[in-house]
Amino acid sequence: MVKLEACLFAYLVNPMRWNRKIRQTKYKKSPVAQLPSLGEATQEPLRIKQVRSTIGCLQSQVDAIRGLGLRRIGQVVERPKDATTLGLLRKVQHLVEITPVNAEG
């Protein structure tokens, strides 16, 4: 009852705040897609492209992006498919696109 009264009071004070609370509860964030199966760690290269910003991310995720050698959205780097790179990619899988580099080039 107290919570309902607090929400009604918030509506009377600022109606936009009420709408924001409804929107936040109505639309839940979808779960992050799982990292595609990249198999075992080998030395074949992976092409990594940053597609989302690090603004608002945890500092450890920002550090992982920097560790991969990415500095800006749209930048592409090639890294070997080893355990270190796969660990960093799991940390920032929602910020990057990963494609294997073809042997043809």
Of residues 15 and 32, the one with the higher pLDDT is 15
Going along the chain from its start, the domains and CATH numbers come out as 1-30 (no CATH), 45-100 (3.30.1390.20)
pLDDT value for 72:
95
pLDDT at 61 over 70: yes
Residue 47 CA to residue 76 CA, distance in Å, equals 7
pLDDT value for 32:
44
pLDDT at 54 over 50: yes
What pLDDT, in 10s, does the model give residues 62-96? 999 999 999 999 999 999 999 899 999 999 999 99
Question: CA torsion 88→90→94→96, rounded to 10°?
Answer: 50
